[in-house]
Amino acid sequence: MSTHRSNKSSSRIRVIARVRPSVSHDNPSFSLLSPSTAPPSLTFDPVSSHITCSRMFHPDKTFALDRIIPPYASQGAVYDASLNSCTTVILDVFKGMSGGVLCYGQTGAGKTWTMFGDMGDDVEMEVEVPKVGGVDAREMLKTPGKEKKVCFESESGVGCGRVGFKEGSTMSERVNLIKKTQSNGLLTTVTMSGSKKILRNNNNPRRRAPPPPPKPVARLPPKDAGIIPRVVRALFHQSKTYSSTGDDVKITFSFVQLYNDSITDLLKPSSKNLTLREDPNLGVFVKNATQVVGTSFMGVLKVLRVSAEHRVVRSTRQNNASSRSHAVLRFTVTRSSEEKEGMSKVRRGTLTFVDLAGSERLDKSGITGQAVKEARRINRSISCLGNVISALGKGTNVHVPFRDEKLTWLLRETLGGKSQCVLIANLSNQQDNSEENLMTLNFASSAMRVDVKPVKFETFAKTVKKKISRPGVGDGAVFLKRTSNGNEKTKNQLLAEQYKADKKRSLKHCVADVETLKHNNKADEIENLHLIDQIEQLEAENQTLKRLLSIKNEGGVDKGVVDPNSMGDLLELDTVVVGDSHGEEGIFQPYDVFAGQDFTAPGTGRKVEFDSSLGRKADTLVSDVEQLKKDLMSMGEAGGGEVSEEEEEEEEEMHTPMQTKTPPPSSSTKSSPTDSIDNFFSAAPSSWESERQTLKKVIDSLQKELAMKNVKISVLESRLCEVERDINGNNVKIERTTQKEERKKDGRTTEGKENPNSYLSKFEAKGGKVNVVDKVKKKEKKEPAVVRRRALNELNTR
């Protein structure tokens, strides 16, 4: 945001005096216009812009002003003199500079008339389209030929321009050409739809002639329209010119009155006692004053007409409709044009129109009561305004009492030297008003000394691609809200901002989602890489295992059969592999190592399967171990420890088939370790959860150990089978050796002779026939129990 001084050389407040004509309803006794009845109080020279105030018994006083507007001048002439022809205030507003027009003068001097004039009514005025050269725009479009000066009708008025069309030129070319003539500042707008109609007719003369154009309705201000309606029209015309070049122009306005030191919103009369606020960029403004977006000349005029009726007016002796308040109408023009990609230059200028309440002498006005109070307030504020102008006229380093009155404070930007300002001094040409005229001229003279250095307001902003369409209303104006920071926003703008904010938020969420997806994708990729790594490691381990097993097999062990003697090596290998693979040394995990490989327990032919499913494997192995234990236990119990000779003898004596003694309580009836643990957990209260977890871990490790033992048991079983085979081979030998020894003990030295006391000897003695082989077989049946017992002892010692 930037503000800088205009390139223009510093100037001063432009001061124009307008002398009000005498009208019929004025008090004829005060009418001094007629030179025949009384000498005029004012004499002036419009060419030299000198005006002389004459008073009874006082010397004349002459003032040199910028312009003197005689009583017979039209309203249009006043507009031209003040703003149109001599100044560039309106054009400069679009360049970001501000301006202001003040009407100052005694009551009844014609301030309101000058400022507003005839504001028209709701009925559209029909005026004849002026014609120059005998043709209007429509005719011109139909008539190719040399350049001609023609008049055009438009929405906002009529104007003249010089255009010429080449023969055979298309209608759009012609319309573009006409649009170019707007550079002359003329009011030219030709619609394509109307043009096409003419073109068709022009190209095909045999066609039926189009109906005559409707009588043009020109939205001109009334003939006696004051400065404001004319300025509004000029603003919209200029706005269209800039819009045609692609600029975005917005015209808004506020309208307030200061009555008895209280600010009321004329656009919303219920809004009273408004306060003033100051903003570094906006200057002093009325907080919460209604802002209206002007969309058409007629619409703005209608709003102004209606709102002006809310002004406080009182009938006095000097004016039937005397304004008792200061009216301040402020237009804000915002124009943004794209300077570079995505960036626009925004210019904002204001035009302030002030219709001051007239100062008056109480004795002349004939007012009483509340009106007196009003008049005093008016005079006080006018006096303060005079002080401000006087101070400003003294140059810099002088205190300017802007804050003494709300009026002067509100007009700080208009009068303070940063805006182009036009002061219209309204004079009443009545002899008894010579004192007031003199005061007015003194005030005007002071204003002539106030220098101004207009400041341009420019800023850069991001270009809004999507143009927000202004909601149209019947009267062509949209009410705005002024926010606390002084910005003006329509409901649609607020909605648009809301929409943009929502979009921004959803976009942020989308971006976050995309980021999350990217992150997840990356995480997945990393996980995939880890998995690939693990697979490769497992494959390598598998290969290593296979290689090691093959090495072992090559060392004399049959392929696919684990050498029972190499169990220690195998366990060692398992531990190493697991430790390397998972970094958990000391945790033996045979299932992982042997996963997918089948091993046949040597001798037993029983397949030992190693599945990767630990739970299932553990269950299987635990049940296997339990079963094995049961078997072993039952075998052990059946053997009953070392078989004594007496027992053997007893068996022999009984001479009955070998019977097992009453079996010990089945292992199944005993509580297995897992059963007892389960019972323990089922009985455990919930508060033991942590202990339960700890114990669970212990159980897991125990189960693993159990599984390991299962492997050992398998190996031992196979060894057992080997031993059994050896035993079977040497059974007879052992028997004989035993018998020999027994005989030696009994004194029977003869080999092959039976003990006479033995059951067999007695049996033989009685004539029975005993087969020696049967006896040996009986012995053999007892041998496995002994061997198993030994193996069990060995297992326990390990």
Ligand X SMILES: Nc1ncnc2c1ncn2[C@@H]1O[C@H](COP(=O)(O)OP(=O)(O)OP(=O)(O)O)[C@@H](O)[C@H]1O
**Known binding-site positions for ATP:** 105-112
Shortest Cβ 428–ligand X spacing (Å):
8
Beta-sheet pairing, 420-428 with 2-5: unpaired
Closer CB to ligand X, 224 or 764, in the complex: 224
Smallest gap from Cβ 256 to ligand X, in A, equals 17
Distance in Å, CB of 221 to ligand X, minimum: 16
Mark 478-502 as b/e (b = at least 16 C-beta within 10 Å): bebebeeeeebebeebeebeeeeee
Minimum Å gap between C-beta 441 and ligand X is 15
Q: Distance between CA 480 and CA 488 in Å, rounded?
A: 6
Which residue from 338, 329, 348, 326 is spatially nearest to 260, judged by alpha carbons? 326
Which listed residue (426, 431, 437, 703) binds ligand X by CB under 6 A? Answer: 426
CB of 400 to ligand X, least distance (A): 25
614: amino acid identity, one letter:
L
Distance from C-alpha of 452 to C-alpha of 97, rounded to nearest angstrom: 12
Give the residue with the Cβ less far from ligand X, 226 or 476: 226
In angstroms, the CA 448 to CA 104 distance is 14
Give the residues across from 252 on adjacent strands.
Answer: 293, 332
Identify which of residues 118 and 592 has a Cβ nearer to ligand X in the complex. Answer: 118
Collapsed DSSP state (helix, strand, coil) of residue 492: helix
In the chain the first and final C-alpha atoms are separated, in Å, by 92
Beta bridge partners of 42: 53
**Strand blocks (E) in 165-275:** 248-259, 262-265
CB-nearer residue toward ligand X: 107 or 344: 107
- What crossing angle do the helices spanning 370-393 and 434-447 adopt, rounded to 10°? 40
- Considering only 84, 241, 252, 319, the residue that binds ligand X (CB under 6 A) is 319
Site for ligand X in 16-35 (CB under 6 A): 20-21, 23
Longest dimension (CA), the chain: 195
Collapsing DSSP to helix, strand or coil, 509 comes out as helix
Piece in contact with ligand X (CB under 6 A), picked from 317-325, 481-489, 491-499, 712-720: 317-325
- Of 18 and 482, the one with the shorter C-beta distance to ligand X is 18
How far apart CA 410 and CA 416 sit, in angstroms, is 11
Evaluate whether 111 touches 92 at the Cβ level (below 8 Å). Answer: no
Beta bridge partners of residue 422, listed in sequence order: 14, 101
Q: What gap in Å lies between CA 415 and CA 123, rounded to an integer?
A: 37
Decide: 227 and 83 in contact? Cβ < 8 Å: yes
Q: How far is the CB of 73 from ligand X (least distance, A)?
A: 8
Cβ of residue 219: shortest distance to ligand X, in angstroms?
23
Q: Which of residues 272-291 bind ligand X (CB under 6 A)?
A: none
Q: 81 or 477, CB closer to ligand X?
A: 81
User: Which residue, 320 or 671, is less far from ligand X as judged by CB?
Assistant: 320
Phi then psi for residue 647, to 5 deg, are: -65, -40
CB of 363 to ligand X, least distance (A): 16
- The window from 53-61, 320-328, 512-520, 538-546 that contacts ligand X (CB under 6 A) reads 320-328
Smallest distance from ligand X to CB 60, Å: 24
Smallest separation, CB 102 to ligand X (Å): 12
Nearer to ligand X, 13 or 33 (CB): 33
- Which residues fall within 8 angstroms of residue 637, CB to CB, at 6 or more apart? 661, 663, 664
Nearer to ligand X, 110 or 476 (CB): 110
Contacts of 149 (CB under 8 A, 6+ apart): 132, 133, 160, 161, 162
Kindly tell me which of 252 and 359 has the beta carbon lying closer to ligand X: 359
Question: Applying CB under 6 A, which part among 89-97, 102-110, 214-222, 227-235 lies near ligand X?
Answer: 102-110
**Residues 219-258, mask of contacts with ligand X (x by CB under 6 A):** ----------------------------------------
CB nearer ligand X, residue 443 or residue 610: 443
Rank residues 112 and 490 by Cβ distance to ligand X and give the closer one: 112
3-state SS string for 279-297: ECCCEEEECCCCEEEECCH
**Least separation in angstroms between CB 7 and ligand X:** 37
What is the pattern of x (binds ligand X, CB under 6 A) and - over residues 379-418?
----------------------------------------
Can you tell me whether residue 334 is helix, strand or coil?
strand
Output the CA–CA distances (angstroms, integers) from residue 524 to 239, 533, 608, in the order listed: 60, 14, 37
CA distance 528 to 537: 14
Count of residues of this chain found to bind ligand X when the rule CB under 6 A is applied: 18
**Which residue in the set 41, 323, 419, 440 belongs to the binding site for ligand X (CB under 6 A)?**
323
Nearer to ligand X, 112 or 290 (CB): 112
Q: How far is the CB of 21 from ligand X (least distance, A)?
A: 5
Question: Is residue 458 a contact partner of residue 345, using CB atoms and an 8 Å limit?
Answer: yes
365 vs 714, which CB is nearer to ligand X? 365
The single residue listed with the structure tokens 């607020």 is 494
Q: CB under 8 Å to 157, separation ≥6 — which residues?
A: 187, 218, 219, 220, 233, 237
Give the whole-angstrom CA distance, residue 167 versus residue 493.
47
Beta bridge partners of 161: 150
The only residue of 188, 322, 493, 710 in contact with ligand X, by rule CB under 6 A: 322
Cβ 286 vs Cβ 254: under 8 Å: yes
Using the contact rule CB under 6 A, the part of the chain among 80-88, 314-322, 395-403, 511-519 near ligand X is 314-322
Q: How many residues does the chain have?
A: 798
Instruction: Give the residue closest to ligand X by C-beta.
Output: 358
Please name which of 364, 370, 366, 289 lies closest in space to residue 324, comparing C-alpha atoms.
370
Cβ atoms 98, 76 nearer than 8 A: no
Distance CA 537, CA 772 (A): 64
Q: What is the DSSP letter of 163?
A: E
In the complex, least distance from residue 229 CB atom to ligand X, rounded to whole angstroms = 15
**Binding site, annotated residues:** 105-112
What φ, ψ does residue 67 adopt, rounded to 5°?
A: -160, 140
d(CA 488, CA 470): 14
* Contact map string, positions 339 to 378, toward ligand X, x by CB under 6 A: ------------------xx--------------------
In the complex with ligand X, which residue's Cβ is closer, 90 or 375? Answer: 375
Instruction: Show the site string, 103-142: x = touches ligand X by CB under 6 A, - = not.
Output: --x-xxxxxxx-----------------------------
What residue ranges bind ligand X (CB under 6 A)?
20-21, 23, 105, 107-113, 319, 321-323, 357-358, 426
